[in-house]
């Protein structure tokens, strides 16, 4: 199907979801006639007049590929959605709102000069729920505080976001293709002994984007910095002597995000580190292969820890019996984060812990507090699979003289610390038959 047909189908699904949410809340005693989605408002840095980079609110962005502040969509059951397109008169900044034929026909469009003008165009009834960060704006246009970001409405909109429409899957698939282009450019820069900054710039250039257009700040880490999970800097030196590169980056297309991680090692990297990298690549593919409908994501996470324990023992980093290694949770010293998260209009998409649309939660396993996804896998879900294995001094050093530490090969660990860590990440779609790896 062409993108306009996929998008029309997508809008119909969203209209149905919102109508069902409004009906459910009305039956429960919270009468709502419509939902007004606000894209968000611009802010400036403290004690400054420089505007912070803007990103539209997720539920708004699911309807419209418009990355502009103070835009609004009104969703009213049985009626065509209304897009309030706000274009201020301004000669300081370009206020143009991009539009395209493939999506404009799905809305009644009302042009405004200022966001407050929407007051004169809203339906006469005032039982309009407001969704968005700027609740002060909602108050100025007379929307009741009791219907601003209503928790029950939020749950009913967050929960189905996990089930991607065909339009959303198409966008995610294309976003993966572009991120792969960026990864190939990053690897090429690494092979040319580029610095973190040079690798980062080559990634952006290959994808044809600026830094603020990526779904999240690129993580480009050489050597020991690859053990910092959300490493945020980009050094201008050190590329000529580097031996390991970790790149965690993505691409945004019409608001939809990809999130890919690859780790590369030179031939002169420590042979055990290279063995670990090969083992982690194999492990990651095996975990992806297990993905199927009906499987709790937490089970994949737990299985990953089992495989990481095996790899640590196989490479001589850990000694002792399998029971000892499991009892002491050795793998958590090397793999401290969750296996993955929902992916979509947001990198860490909403609803990862929701059991149902009523807001009940699937709790994280006590021993895995950083797991972002605890739902059962079902067709339509897109999520990341990103096992890691790192040599993190802040986690390892406190164990040097403990009972747990007696199971660790400290001589080998000290040799591997300068190489940082490994993470490999793909984006996976659950299908009725099993899964599709959107990355590979």
- 338 burial via Cβ count (<10 Å: 0-12, 13-18, 19+): buried
- Domain shared by 219 and 349, yes or no: yes
- Above 90 in pLDDT, residue 1? no
pLDDT tens-digit readout, 384-399? 999 999 999 999 999 9
Which two tokens mark 399? Answer: 């164990």
- Domain shared by 156 and 172, yes or no: no
> How many Cβ atoms sit within 10 Å of the Cβ of residue 95?
14
- Above 80 in pLDDT, residue 263? yes
The angle formed by the CA atoms of residues 73, 52 and 83, to the nearest 5 degrees, is: 10
CA atoms within 13 A on the CB side of 396: 22
Q: Which of 162, 180, 196 is the last residue of a domain?
A: 162
- The per-residue pLDDT for 96 is 94
pLDDT tens-digit readout, 310-361? 999 999 999 999 999 999 999 999 999 999 999 999 999 999 999 999 999 9
Report how far residue 154's alpha carbon sits from residue 357's, in angstroms, rounded to the nearest whole number.
9
Cα–Cα distance list, 50 to 54, 108, 308 (Å) = 12, 34, 46
The pLDDT mean for the chain works out to: 97
- Domain shared by 30 and 140, yes or no: yes
pTM of the model: 0.97
What is the domain-level CATH number for residue 240?
3.90.230.10
- Domain shared by 185 and 140, yes or no: no
> In the structure, what pLDDT confidence band is assigned to residue 141 with cuts at 50, 70 and 90?
very high
Cα–Cα distance list, 307 to 310, 312, 383, 387, 439 (Å) = 5, 9, 20, 10, 22
pLDDT tens-digit readout, 53-109? 999 999 999 999 999 999 999 999 999 999 999 999 999 999 999 999 999 999 999
- The per-residue pLDDT for 299 is 97
- Domain shared by 71 and 84, yes or no: yes
- Domain shared by 177 and 242, yes or no: yes
- The per-residue pLDDT for 288 is 98
- Domain shared by 97 and 134, yes or no: yes
Q: Which of 162, 189, 221 is the last residue of a domain?
A: 162
What is the domain-level CATH number for residue 69?
3.40.350.10
pLDDT tens-digit readout, 283-313? 999 999 999 999 999 999 999 999 999 999 9
Q: Among residues 128, 122, 124, 121, which one has the least CA distance to residue 144?
A: 128
Total domains in the chain come to 2
Contact 270, 244 (CB under 8 A): no
Report, as an integer, the average pLDDT of 269-283.
Answer: 98
- Domain shared by 233 and 140, yes or no: no
Q: Which residue range is the domain that position 202 belongs to?
A: 166-437
- Domain shared by 240 and 142, yes or no: no
Q: Which of 120, 139, 162 is the last residue of a domain?
A: 162
Contact 357, 155 (CB under 8 A): yes
- The per-residue pLDDT for 385 is 98
End-to-end CA distance of the chain, in Å?
Answer: 22
- Domain shared by 292 and 154, yes or no: no
> In the structure, what pLDDT confidence band is assigned to residue 273 with cuts at 50, 70 and 90?
very high
The residue whose two tokens read 């967050």 is 158
- The per-residue pLDDT for 410 is 98
- Domain shared by 186 and 77, yes or no: no
Q: What is the three-class DSSP state of 251?
A: coil
Report, as an integer, the average pLDDT of 155-161.
Answer: 98
CA atoms within 13 A on the CB side of 395: 20
- Domain shared by 313 and 236, yes or no: yes
Q: What is the three-class DSSP state of 359?
A: coil
- Above 90 in pLDDT, residue 126? no
Contact 364, 352 (CB under 8 A): no
């Amino acid at each position: 199907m062409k993108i306009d047909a996929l998008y029309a189908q997508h809008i119909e699904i969203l209209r149905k979801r919102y109508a069902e949410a409004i009906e459910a809340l009305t039956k429960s005693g919270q009468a709502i006639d419509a939902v007004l989605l606000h894209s968000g408002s611009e802010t400036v840095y403290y004690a400054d007049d420089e505007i912070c980079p803007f990103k539209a609110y997720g539920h708004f962005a699911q309807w419209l590929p418009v990355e502009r502040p103070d835009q609004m969509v009104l969703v009213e059951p049985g009626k065509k959605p209304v897009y309030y397109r706000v274009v201020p008169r301004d000669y300081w900044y370009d206020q143009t709102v991009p539009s395209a034929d493939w999506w404009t026909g799905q809305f009644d469009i009302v042009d405004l000069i200022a966001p407050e003008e929407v007051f004169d165009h809203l339906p006469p009834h005032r039982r309009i729920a407001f969704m968005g960060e700027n609740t002060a704006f909602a108050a100025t246009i007379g929307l009741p505080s009791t219907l601003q970001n209503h928790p029950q409405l939020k749950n009913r909109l967050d929960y189905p976001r996990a089930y991607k429409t065909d339009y959303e899957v198409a966008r995610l698939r294309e976003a993966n293709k572009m991120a792969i282009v960026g990864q190939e450019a990053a690897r090429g820069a690494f092979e040319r002994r580029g610095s973190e900054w040079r690798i980062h710039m080559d990634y952006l250039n290959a994808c044809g984007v600026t830094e603020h257009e990526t779904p999240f700040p690129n993580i480009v880490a050489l050597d020991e910095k690859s053990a910092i999970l959300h490493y945020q800097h980009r050094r201008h030196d050190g590329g000529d002597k580097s031996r390991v590169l970790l790149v965690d980056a993505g691409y945004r297309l019409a608001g939809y995000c990809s999130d890919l991680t690859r780790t590369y090692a030179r031939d002169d990297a420590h042979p055990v580190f290279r063995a670990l990298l090969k083992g982690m690549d194999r492990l990651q593919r095996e975990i992806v292969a297990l993905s199927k409908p009906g499987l709790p994501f937490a089970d994949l996470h737990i299985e990953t820890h089992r495989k990481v324990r095996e790899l640590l023992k196989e490479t001589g980093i850990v000694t002792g019996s399998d029971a000892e290694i499991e009892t002491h949770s050795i793998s958590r010293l090397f793999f401290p984060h969750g296996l993955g998260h929902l992916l979509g209009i947001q990198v860490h998409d909403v609803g990862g812990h929701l059991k149902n649309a009523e807001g009940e939660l699937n709790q994280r396993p006590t021993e895995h507090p950083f797991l972002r996804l605890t739902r059962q896998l079902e067709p339509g879900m897109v999520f990341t699979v990103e096992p890691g294995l790192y040599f993190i001094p802040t986690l390892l050093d406190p164990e040097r003289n403990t009972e747990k530490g007696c199971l660790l090969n400290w001589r080998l660990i000290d040799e591997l610390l300068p190489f940082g860590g490994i993470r490999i990440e793909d984006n996976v779609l659950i299908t009725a038959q099993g899964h599709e790896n959107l990355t590979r």
